[in-house]
Structure 1
Amino acid sequence: MKNFYAFLLIILVTVSQSLNAQTGEKYIINDIFVTGNTAFNANTIITFSKLKKGQEVTIGGEKIGEAVKKLWKSNLFSSIDIYFTNITDDNKVDIEINLSDLPELNEVTIEGVKKGKKDEILDENNLKQRVKVTENLITTTKNYLTNKYKKKGFLNAKVNVTTSEVTNDSIEKKRVNMRIDIDKGNKVKIKSITFNGNEKLKDKKLRKAMKNTKQKNPIRLLKRSKYVEADYKEDLVSLIDKYKENGYRDARVVKDSIIYNDDQTISLVIDVEEGEKYTFGKIDFVGNTVYSDEFLSQILRIEEGDTYNGVELKKRIANEEKPDGIDITNVYQNTGYMFSTINPVEVSADGNVIDLEIRITEGKPAYFNSVTVKGNDVTNDHVIYREIRTRPGELYSRANIIRTIRELGQLGFFNAQAIVPDIKNPNPVDGTLDIEYTVEEQGSSQIELQGGYGGGGFIGTLGLSFNNFSLRNIFNGEAYKPVPRGDGQSLALRLQASQFFQTYSFSFSEPWLGGKKPFQLSSSISYSKQFQFNPATRRADRSQSFNILGITVGISTRLKEPDDYFLFSQALSYQNYNLNNFRSGLFQFQNGTSNNLAYTIGLTRNNTYNDPIYPTGGSNFAISAKLSLPYSLFNGVDYGALREERDNPATTPERIAEIDQERFKWLEFYKVKFKADWYAEVAKKLVLRPSVEFGFLGAYNNDRGVIPFERFFLGGDGLGNFALDGREIIQLRGYPNQSLSSQDGASIYNKFSLELRYPITLGQGAKIYALSFLEGGASVNSFRDFNPFNLQRSAGLGVRIFMPAFGLLGIDFGHGFDPLPGQSQKNGWETHFIIGQQF
């Protein structure tokens, strides 16, 4: 419309002359002046038109036309006329530019939608005060809103946009009010989808192939029966793909129509022509020198005589849905042949048997020339480059580009959704290319500040976690913004206190010790003090305390075999438990010490896709063993005799305390744990996460028994707010915290979980996703009682919010289907608040 008006104005430039002027006659501009309804300065308009005094012009000529075009393209005027006036005998002429300003937008009234949606409409269509109101603005606003509601299933949505001039306005500029009337109507449901002409494939199978267009079905919850034209057109392609998967390569949609029913629904009628069924014949590879026919046949995995499947053939050549899939294109792309092309060509279709030639142009091997990164203002270059798998001088590999995106996303310093590799300057002649990775930094440090009541008093918590710390700049005052950052190290401080306990912890880790290899060094130190509750004063008795000092040093390294997703870790930990006139359910003695020196060895493999907050694929498993020394083998203590003496009813409490002091002077145990998570994208962004975990705490010497520390407590939100005894809190939603284990904890547990996640937003400022879950778990104290399928079960819904400054927050509503131990009624609903838990 806009171009039409410009054309019309150029064609219909009005020429008024006092003398007889001839079209095509040349004139010299004597003067230029501006008339009409405009608030712009005349000199500004003249300058913008490019017309000048003394310039030679022609009536209907190029320069006059260009002046109109320039003025029109400014989007400032509703009408533009150029007049030739006062033409003299010596062919001099005055130019009059007559124009009217476009009106500015004053107010917008929107009818037909809820109040909360009006601001959204204004923002989406840039309907702000003082915006110039053009025909284009009116048309695009109307079309945008109409299409928006049609995409949501309002097939009959109508939008009307009108304007009215502001009267009695003291402002000289012309202004208009805009009114937008929206009539969404009712959502149009699809009553039925009918197929004509299909004999080979049944209606049910064809309807199933249409992923987004469904007919009404009261038992279907995930896909509603609304009609969206774009989805419907896409589903018609999927329909033909279904035929191609079954050998009918000539199938086509002959006609499709919409029938409007009296009950405000529609019916879809689709006429198909199936054609004949085909099979694969001979498949020859042409042009391949790097790989043999036999090898490429193994990748293609199609045999002569197989039912023709055009969709699968395309995936075996190049699977666009899986950029890291096993296909012929990736075989070449991952070994340097960036400029290779693979094209399947049908050379014969006699007797419904299709012979193919896979024509391959290999090209020259390509090498990375320049590898750069942009967007990292905080993170130092060396932290990024050590994770990059594409090095200058190395062969091009698509797999290494994909792996680099994953590794940069796993760092947690960047928005994993916004990491973009940009291939530049590809040169097939000399076989080189440049690549630039664009990253978008996000906050990686977190603060935890909590206050609340629990355990008989106020509990305050302060936690600081810096996940991109720089230790080498700790004495550099200019680096404090607010702390030294950029070297990828982790430093955390946590303080928690109430009148009954105090805990302090500090940890530090360097992921690349020495800077040459991914060799991580981690260390932590913690101190906890708990005071006895005095029932007389109902306050803490500070003369009775239970103190724990803990130190841990660990190392881990990335393995190369079986693949470099494996991480091997080792740690040495020591805890000293000191009781000062403190009564504890863990021991009979009230004064004394206990020591826990343990070695932990672990193997993990994590190949989850890109975003650690919201993985969409891959798996993560971990197995670990925590071992103490077998002191009973060499300390010369007869624990069998001690056990008999302790179990003797005649043994005094004082003697039992002495026996316990001997039994637990040095803790003796072994602890094995296993956990595995899988992630699968079952639909676009809809992720299924199955999980299984198991733990066992054992004793080397049965007479000495299983220690009262390091035990498993099952049930609830999984948060271990205040635990002095090394216990592990296992999440099982739908039940109260730690309610599914005995008071002293369990030595064996297992748990199964199935979670379905869908993102609400994965933006840089916050990542939010909703989830539903099914869970089951059990905990016991001996293998005699262990039945992995005798579970407490639950189900529910929840939401998670991850903000870089605060970590993970969330809420779950879980329903426990089984009774708590010792009860007969199912537990029912529980609400759980999640803070800082694993994803």
Structure 2
Amino acid sequence: MKLLLNIKKENDDLGKQVNNLVNILPKITYLKHCIAILLFAYSFTIQAQDLEYSSGKKYTLGEVSVSGNTSFSEQTIIAYSGLRKGKEMTIPGEDISNAIKKLWNSKLFSDIEVYITKIEDDVAYLQIRLSDLPQLNELKINGVKKGKKEGIIKDNKLKKGVKVTENLITTTKNFLTKKYQKQGFYNSKIHINTIEVKDSIETARVNMVLNIDKGEKVKIKDIAFSGNSVLSDKKLRKSMKSTKKINRLRILKRSKFIDSAYQADLGHVMDAYKENGYRDARILSDSIIVNNDKTISLKIDVNEGEQYTFGDITFIGNTVYSNEQLSRLLRIRKGDTYNGILLQKRIADDSKPDAFDITNQYQNNGYLFSSINPVEVSADNNVIDMEIRISEGKPAYFNSVSVVGNDKTNDHVIYREIRTRPGQLYSKANVVRTVRELGQLGFFDAQEISPNFNNPNPVEGTIDMEYAVKETGSSQIELQGGYGGGGFIGTLGLSFNNFSIKDIFKKDAYKPIPMGDGQKLALRLQASRFYQTYSFSFSEPWLGGKRPVQFSTSLSHTKQFLYNPATRNADKSRSFNITGITFGLAKRLSVPDDYFTLSQAISYQRYDLNNYNTGLFTFGDGFSNNLSYTVGLSRNNTSVDPIFPTGGSSFGITAKFSFPYSLLNGVDYDALKAERDENTRTRSDVNSTPLQVSDAQTRIAEIDQERYKWLEFYKVSFKGDWYTQIVKNLVLRPSVEFGFLGAYNNARGVIPFERFFVGGDGLGNYSLDGRESIQLRGYPNQSLSDQDGGTIYNKYSLELRYPITLKASAKIYALGFLEGGSSHNSFRDFNPFNINRSAGVGIRIFMPAFGLLGIDFGHGFDALPGQTEKHGWETHFIIGQQF
């Protein structure tokens, strides 16, 4: 048996060279064979045996057999090789080498050998001996989290059964190395080992172990520029938004190197030049230097070029708007320093869908198919003349408007919020506003609302509009227990924010409750040893279905039991009950704009005291009535997601009034006040007898019962929030609050109800008397007001928010805050700058089924009333409330 050719694969990258060598093998001497073997021994072994003849001879091919470690059938290999029985060929010759090449290029075999088994007359018998490339049996990946392994397998095609070649191993190493370098792991190391599987199965198989050592993300020690004289290194480094050098004082931006961010920041460096008139600025080269301390330094060589200014700016193609109107929108004048970035923003600002630019001016008035292109027509003497070429196109009209994805919410609830109608002239502002209104409903994932433009027809001037929404949980359940108010508190709350009251008697609608009409229904029960609270509320946002007029009503009952210090338990025979009912209407206005809402409400509360004597009330038996009217004006234009707004503002001013009874009831409150003051002095006089003190106390209670039979007061409150996106996802929220409680008749005095209690988490676990709990983190609950509450308060807050995730299942964001506020009892004591200050951090988690949850760690920098040392740290747990 004589060996004709043998090829063993060691490196796929040199395959072409081997194939070329195989082609000429029959034409070279044995010595040249040996030289070739030496040259390619590190990657290929190619052997040729002396067949006892020096030149090729023609033979007829006899039987061809196949042997070796292969799973392919003999017939398949012979047919694929082209060495068919009866074929006339020259041996040695190109037929043999071509057969070898075909089998080799299939990338299925690790080595191939062709033998002449015998020669009878002019008939040659051949044998093909080969071995399959090993298949991947098992893969073990070390060094990454479980969730990342599937991605590595998919990206590198490392499924079980794949042929394991040197090329596969090399490609996998290179892919992962580049991938981790782009993520900032510049010193990552990838090791791949294969282990042959020895078992009874004939197929060649190997187990692969992939060891990944990402190492630490490499930090940037220095960023140095060369070739710059106009802009300093400091300014250029500042223009790089995500690539920063090591600075121990920096908190928000890290100094770790990420290739993709670095490439983007090179573009930002050029933008810095373009914003200063250097439109020809270029980066000549950039390099990464690896330092001995495992950091890197970046070297960037720039060519600044020369500064340009704007020359003549001419508008061409405009018929809808005059040159003067477009110039006012462009706000760039001849002689201004050339700024290509600003020019593009004034034409079309992609970062703001409602930007004040020329493109939006056209698109808000129907010209969807318009295009605006700035063209430089001259740059003589560094003065650039511009033509703003405008193709206005035909006005576009909505052909159809549809919504998809609303599985629970009824169509009419969505369509009444949509600002685009079939047949209406296209307006980008209306599309943006529609997305905002749908997000504000709270029934859909605000991050997933997508306006889709279908079937645009510039010739006919029509467009089909489709709003894609994704339903999210809009009902909440509150079931909790905790310790507070002197005992265990249990709470059961149900809030249905997309309720349908018309289906309440339809059995089939309970899935699990009737839903889809956008109404809100809430039930709440809270109880402990010392109090019980029951409440019910309902609201319909579109009363009558024609206009955005919200009708709301609520009913509540609270019972408080007096604490008995002897038994340390509640005395059920002594109680303070409050029953209240409220009816309200809120109407969306159109002037000054339709972000304004005017709300009005009438409410009634009855306070019943049954042998309930405390420091708050001078009478322990009796009642008070509170009939009041509330009017409020608010404006809310915050961006799409109500849980995490990134722009806009929200403010509201409310005034609550009772009827001025003292003007009509004929009671002389000045005389009552004088009598009360006299009895107060008698009660406090050490020379008074016990009987005199008792009589004075009784008379004071009678006077106060008369004063508070019908509560008389007015109350004014203001709150404003503003949201600004500083950089992507980082949102600043300043906030201001103020409240004042006053009396019409000073002789009658300010009522002991409806007061402000400042400090703590602001949740107000059992606000029995109309009080308002004002959140001020870093201090205990209600600790910054008198025991009876304050009549004036002010508060300032500055909060910085950053989202961790905004998915529908859970929206999570972190925050840092600075706050200050105070509470006072008269304007004589009020000083808006004399406040209790605090700072801290926190986190918020919003889950549709449970509402908003969170925790804050606040540090109070000032002392509590009556103390001298600063308060220090306080922890607050937030449930169902958004600050």
Q: Is residue 330–residue 398 contact of structure 1 (8 Å, CA) maintained in 2?
A: yes
Match of 1:654 among 671, 674, 698: 698
Tell me, what secondary structure is at the counterpart of 1:514? helix
Equivalent in the alignment of 1:233: 263
Q: What one-letter code is carried by the residue in structure 2 that aligns with 1:783?
A: F
**Which consecutive unaligned segments of at least 5 residues does structure 2 have?**
1-11, 21-58, 63-67, 81-101, 113-127, 683-694
Is 1:155 equivalent to 2:182 in the alignment? no
Alpha-carbon separation, structure 1, partners of 2:652 and 2:529? 38
Alpha-carbon separation, structure 2, partners of 1:197 and 1:451? 67
Match of 1:744 among 759, 784, 788: 788
Alpha-carbon separation, structure 1, partners of 2:60 and 2:526? 97
Match of 2:140 among 108, 115, 119: 108
Q: Is residue 136–residue 163 contact of structure 2 (8 Å, CA) maintained in 1?
A: no
Query: How far is 1:166 from its partner?
Result: 3.8
Match of 1:251 among 281, 289, 309: 281
Alpha-carbon separation, structure 2, partners of 1:556 and 1:510? 10
Match of 1:336 among 351, 359, 366: 366
Alpha-carbon separation, structure 2, partners of 1:647 and 1:172? 109
Alpha-carbon separation, structure 2, partners of 1:601 and 1:778? 25
Equivalent in the alignment of 2:209: 179
Match of 2:620 among 582, 590, 606: 590
Alpha-carbon separation, structure 1, partners of 2:401 and 2:205? 54
Alpha-carbon separation, structure 1, partners of 2:764 and 2:729? 31
Alpha-carbon separation, structure 1, partners of 2:851 and 2:109? 53
Q: Is residue 618–residue 701 contact of structure 2 (8 Å, CA) maintained in 1?
A: yes
Match of 1:783 among 827, 843, 852: 827
Query: How far is 1:546 from its partner?
Result: 1.1
Query: How far is 1:142 from its partner?
Result: 4.4
Matches within 5 A, 1:16-27: none
Alpha-carbon separation, structure 2, partners of 1:644 and 1:129? 94
Equivalent in the alignment of 1:759: 803
Equivalent in the alignment of 2:31: none
Stretch of structure 1 that moved more, 342-351 or 175-184: 175-184
**Shift in alpha-carbon separation, 1:713–1:398, aligned structure 2, 3 A:** same
Is 1:495 equivalent to 2:525 in the alignment? yes
Equivalent in the alignment of 2:48: none
Is 1:385 equivalent to 2:385 in the alignment? no
Q: What one-letter code is carried by the residue in structure 1 that aligns with 2:589?
A: L
Query: How far is 1:176 from its partner?
Result: 4.5
Alpha-carbon separation, structure 1, partners of 2:172 and 2:625? 73
Q: Is residue 38–residue 101 contact of structure 1 (8 Å, CA) maintained in 2?
A: no
Stretch of structure 1 that moved more, 539-548 or 157-166: 157-166
Deviations 1:571-603 (A, max 9, x none): 111101111111133321111110111111111
Stretch of structure 1 that moved more, 516-525 or 532-541: 532-541
Alpha-carbon separation, structure 1, partners of 2:203 and 2:420? 59
Query: How far is 1:121 from its partner?
Result: 2.2
Tell me, what secondary structure is at the counterpart of 2:545? coil
Match of 1:348 among 358, 364, 378: 378
Alpha-carbon separation, structure 1, partners of 2:527 and 2:552? 25
Q: What one-letter code is carried by the residue in structure 1 that aligns with 2:151?
A: E
Alpha-carbon separation, structure 2, partners of 1:578 and 1:386? 44
Alpha-carbon separation, structure 1, partners of 2:808 and 2:758? 34
Query: How far is 1:296 from its partner?
Result: 0.4
Is 1:418 equivalent to 2:448 in the alignment? yes
Is 1:398 equivalent to 2:428 in the alignment? yes
Tell me, what secondary structure is at the counterpart of 1:434? strand
Match of 1:681 among 725, 734, 739: 725
Alpha-carbon separation, structure 2, partners of 1:817 and 1:545? 39
Query: How far is 1:80 from its partner?
Result: 14
Equivalent in the alignment of 1:322: 352
Equivalent in the alignment of 1:838: 882
Query: How far is 1:221 from its partner?
Result: 2.1
Match of 2:770 among 708, 712, 726: 726
Alpha-carbon separation, structure 1, partners of 2:704 and 2:205? 90
Q: Is residue 134–residue 203 contact of structure 2 (8 Å, CA) maintained in 1?
A: no
Deviations 1:747-778 (A, max 9, x none): 11111111111111111110111111111111
Q: Is residue 70–residue 131 contact of structure 2 (8 Å, CA) maintained in 1?
A: yes
**Shift in alpha-carbon separation, 1:177–1:737, aligned structure 2, 3 A:** farther
Q: Is residue 166–residue 174 contact of structure 1 (8 Å, CA) maintained in 2?
A: yes
Equivalent in the alignment of 1:57: none
Alpha-carbon separation, structure 2, partners of 1:300 and 1:758? 33
Query: How far is 1:254 from its partner?
Result: 1.6
Matches within 5 A, 1:253-332: 253-332=283-362
Equivalent in the alignment of 1:517: 547
Query: How far is 1:78 from its partner?
Result: 8.6
> Number of residues paired by the alignment?
775
Tell me, what secondary structure is at the counterpart of 2:145? helix
* TM-score computed with the length of structure 2 as normaliser: 0.83
Match of 2:648 among 605, 610, 618: 618
Is 1:710 equivalent to 2:754 in the alignment? yes
Alpha-carbon separation, structure 2, partners of 1:491 and 1:37? 72
Match of 1:571 among 574, 591, 601: 601
**Shift in alpha-carbon separation, 1:243–1:469, aligned structure 2, 3 A:** same
Query: How far is 1:173 from its partner?
Result: 8.0
Tell me, what secondary structure is at the counterpart of 2:764? coil
Tell me, what secondary structure is at the counterpart of 1:179? strand
Equivalent in the alignment of 1:119: 146
Match of 1:580 among 595, 603, 610: 610
Q: Is residue 134–residue 206 contact of structure 2 (8 Å, CA) maintained in 1?
A: no
Q: Percent sequence identity over matched residues?
A: 67
Query: How far is 1:621 from its partner?
Result: 0.7
**Shift in alpha-carbon separation, 1:80–1:500, aligned structure 2, 3 A:** farther
Tell me, what secondary structure is at the counterpart of 2:395? coil
Is 1:369 equivalent to 2:396 in the alignment? no
Q: Is residue 183–residue 260 contact of structure 2 (8 Å, CA) maintained in 1?
A: no
**Which consecutive unaligned segments of at least 5 residues does structure 1 have?**
13-18, 23-34, 50-67, 82-95
Alpha-carbon separation, structure 1, partners of 2:429 and 2:761? 39
Alpha-carbon separation, structure 1, partners of 2:779 and 2:805? 29
Match of 1:825 among 869, 872, 876: 869
Alpha-carbon separation, structure 2, partners of 1:729 and 1:80? 83
Q: Is residue 761–residue 775 contact of structure 2 (8 Å, CA) maintained in 1?
A: yes
Is 1:449 equivalent to 2:479 in the alignment? yes
Query: How far is 1:607 from its partner?
Result: 0.8
Q: Is residue 605–residue 627 contact of structure 2 (8 Å, CA) maintained in 1?
A: yes
* Root mean square deviation, CA, Å: 3.3
Q: Is residue 621–residue 675 contact of structure 1 (8 Å, CA) maintained in 2?
A: yes
Alpha-carbon separation, structure 2, partners of 1:131 and 1:559? 65
Alpha-carbon separation, structure 2, partners of 1:597 and 1:175? 86
Alpha-carbon separation, structure 1, partners of 2:456 and 2:111? 48
Deviations 1:217-244 (A, max 9, x none): 2222222222222112111111111111
Q: Is residue 589–residue 660 contact of structure 1 (8 Å, CA) maintained in 2?
A: yes
Tell me, what secondary structure is at the counterpart of 2:246? coil
Equivalent in the alignment of 1:460: 490
Q: What one-letter code is carried by the residue in structure 2 that aligns with 1:628?
A: S
Q: Is residue 256–residue 269 contact of structure 1 (8 Å, CA) maintained in 2?
A: yes
Query: How far is 1:348 from its partner?
Result: 1.3
**Shift in alpha-carbon separation, 1:287–1:736, aligned structure 2, 3 A:** same
Alpha-carbon separation, structure 2, partners of 1:811 and 1:789? 28
Stretch of structure 1 that moved more, 280-289 or 448-457: 448-457
Q: Is residue 69–residue 202 contact of structure 2 (8 Å, CA) maintained in 1?
A: no
Q: Is residue 596–residue 667 contact of structure 1 (8 Å, CA) maintained in 2?
A: yes
Tell me, what secondary structure is at the counterpart of 1:160? strand
